[in-house]
Amino acid sequence: MSVIRFEGVEHSYGERSVLAGVDLTLSEHRIGVIGANGGGKSTLARMINGLVMPSTGQVTVDGLDTRKKGRDVRRKVGFVFTDPNHQIIMPTVAEDIEFSLRRRKMSKNERAVLVDEALDRFGLSGHREHPTHLLSGGQKQLLALAAVMVTDPDVLVADEPTTLLDLRNTRMIAETFARLPQQLIVVTHQLDLLNTFDRVLVIDEGRVVADGAPQSSIDHYRTLVG
Condensed to tens digits (0 to 9), the pLDDT of residues 27-38 reads 999 999 999 998
205 touches 16 (CB < 8 A): no
pLDDT of residue 167: 87
Cα four-point dihedral sign 81, 185, 197, 149: positive
Condensed to tens digits (0 to 9), the pLDDT of residues 58-73 reads 999 999 999 999 999 9
Cα four-point dihedral sign 192, 197, 203, 208: positive
Report the percent of the chain where pLDDT is more than 90: 83
pLDDT confidence bin for 164, thresholds 50/70/90 = confident
User: What DSSP line would sit under 61-110, residue for residue?
Assistant: ETTEETTT-HHHHHHHEEEE-SSGGGT--SSBHHHHHHHTTTTS---HHH
Report the percent of the chain where pLDDT is more than 70: 100
* Whole-number Å distance between alpha carbons of 2 and 154: 7
Q: Which residues are CB-neighbours of 44 under 8 A, at least 6 positions away?
A: 6, 19, 22, 33, 187, 203
Topology of the domain covering 4-225: Rossmann fold (3.40.50)
